[in-house]
Structure 1
Amino acid sequence: MASYQIRLTETDETYVCKAGESILHGMARLGKKGIPLGCRGGGCGVCKIQVLEGEYSSRVMSKCHISEAERADHFALACRIYPQTDLEIEVIGKMSKNI
C-alpha cells in the first residue's frame, strides 16, 4: 500500500500517511501532534488546514467551515482529505495550543 509524507510547515515535522487514510487520522494513528483534533468527521471545523503543495482527494466539507473561495485556495478539513502525493500543509487556527 502506498504512503505519503505530510509536512507541517509550522514545525517542519513530517509524518507518514497511508493511501486511503485522511491526513488527520494518519497523524493521530502515529500519536503526532500539530493538527487540532475535534470530532474527526467534518462537523466541528477545528482541523482546518491549507495545502501548500501536493495533490489530494477530498470528501464533502461543510460550507460552514470551508467556503467555495477557501476550497479554491486549497483550504480543507484535515479529517476530510486523503493524500495522492506528498503534502505540505499549514495549520489554520489554534495549532500553538497543541504543540
Structure 2
Amino acid sequence: MGESFQITEQFSGEQFRCKPGQSVLKAMEQKGLKCVPVGCRCGGCGFCKVTVLGGDYECGKMSRVHASPEAINQGEVLACRVYPLTDLIIECQPQSIVGLDSEHTTTKAIR
C-alpha cells in the first residue's frame, strides 16, 4: 500500500487512513464513519465542518459563509475540501439534525 495519512477524530478516538490528494470526507465515508453530516461535497453547504487540531493540510475552495479566512486560520474547515499533507487530528462538529429539519417543509396535496 502506498503512502497514506492517519486521521484521528479526537473525541471518539476513531482512526482512518486518507490517501494523498483524497479529501478527509471521502476517506471518512470509505471507512463508514458518520461523524459529520454530508451535503454537497463541494465546499458550498458547510455541513461537514471539522476543526483540525494537529497536522498539516491543504484546503480547496470553500464557501466563505461557512469557512471564513479567520475560521480557516483557526483550523475550522470543511472536510470535503481538506487534503492532508501529514497525519491529522480532527474534531468533528456535527450540526443539529433538528436545525436542518426546520429549513425544510413538507406539503400535502389537497384532493
With the length of structure 2 as denominator, give the TM-score of the two structures. 0.80
2:9 touches 2:89 (CA, 8 Å); kept in 1?
A: yes
Task: Give the whole-Å Cα distance in 2 for the aligned partners of 1:65 and 1:54.
Answer: 21
1:14 corresponds to 2:18: no
Larger Rg: 2
Distance 1:19 1:41, change over 3 A: same
- 2:48 counterpart of 1:42: no
Separation in structure 1 between the aligned mates of residue 37 and residue 91 of structure 2, nearest angstrom? 12
Shift of 1:61: 1.1
Relative to total residues, which structure has the larger strand share, 1 or 2? Answer: 1
The separation in 1 between residues aligned to 2:37 and 2:11, in whole angstroms, is: 13
* 2:33 equivalent in structure 1: 32
Deviation track 1:77-98 (CA, whole Å, cap 9, x = no partner) reads 00001000000001123389xx
- 1:28 maps to amino acid: E
Contact 1:34 1:95 in 2 (8 A): no
Report the count of equivalent residues: 97
Note the alpha carbon deviations across 1:43-94, whole angstroms, 9 max, x for none.
1100001100000011111111011211111110000010000000011233
Report deviation, 1:10. 1.9
Please report the RMSD computed on the Cα atoms of aligned residues, expressed in angstroms. 1.8
Distance 2:58 2:12 in 1: 24
SS in 1 for 2:47: coil
Identity rate, percent: 43
Give the letter aligned to residue 62 of structure 1: S
Gaps of 5+ in 2: 98-111
Q: Answer whether contact 1:48 1:77 (CA < 8 A) is retained.
A: yes
Mapped contact 1:50–1:76 kept (Cα < 8 A)? yes
**Runs of 4+, deviation exceeding 4 Å:** none
